[in-house]
Each structure stands twice: as structure tokens, then as C-alpha cells.
Amino acid sequence: MERIDDFGRLAERVRTHSEEAPGSDTERVTMRSFDEVSYESLRELLEALEGENVDPGACVFYLSPDNVDRALEGSDEGDVEALEDRLGREVRVEESMPDDTVLFMDPDAIDAGEIVAAHAIACGTVAAGD
């Protein structure tokens, strides 16, 4: 997989993938809505891909710096490595990742900015805070 530089653009494409997908037989991204980013919401996103014929060890969380802070808030984890240990998955902190989106996906599900394996992508949309 090539390096993704524009997570804002990717997040928009992923969030609208099911709206743009023609026909009911088209592969769609798994979507979840969250009021907040927390360990529990990240677990829910992880569990959303179980049974989707996806290599669980290949999947990675992509979060903005603010969402990593939110996920660590009020938990025993003090850093990203501890959060990774608890989740059992890699967590990548991406500056260009929007705060209203969390992705959990196989990095190979994206090729040249295009979705090539929607079944290997779970997208969490996060409610805007006050």
C-alpha cells in the first residue's frame, strides 16, 4: 500500500461510499456512529469487521491526534502503545485525519486513494461536540 497523505479526502470518500454505490450487490463500507471516541467505541469498530473475511491482524486504526487524546481520556492507558496493546491492533495517529471520523481498516483496502476492498473498512462517524 502506498502512503495515504490526505485522510480528509479519504474519510469523505469512505463516509459517502455507501451513498455512491449503485445497486444492492455493491460492496459497502461498514459504518458506525458514535457520540464520542473511547476505548469502547474503538472496540465496537473493531468488532464490526469480525466475520467479514478480513485478516484481523492486518487492520489498523487511523485517528486524529485529538481523537487519540479522547480515547486515552479517563483510561489507564497513558500512551498510544498502551492503547494498541489493549486493542490488540496498531493505532496510527494522522494529522490530516478529521476529528469527526475514525477508520479501522486493512491498509490494502485503499489503492491510489480509491476504495478497492470496502468489506475491509469500518468507519466510525463521531458526533460533533459543543
pLDDT averaged over consecutive 10-residue blocks of the chain (130 residues)? 76 74 64 92 92 85 94 78 91 94 94 88 82
Q: What share of the chain is helix, strand, coil (3-state, %, to 5)?
A: 40, 20, 40
Cell output for 20? 455512491
**pLDDT of the residue at 91:** 95
Provide the grid cell at 114: 480509491
pLDDT for the residue numbered 2: 53
User: Are the C-beta atoms of 37 and 71 separated by less than 8 Å?
Assistant: yes
Grid coordinates 486524529 are at which residue?
64
Model-level pTM? 0.87
Q: Is 25 exposed, middle or buried (0-12, 13-18, 19+ CB in 10 A)?
A: exposed
CATH topology of domain 7-18+27-126: hypothetical protein PF0899 fold (3.30.2320)
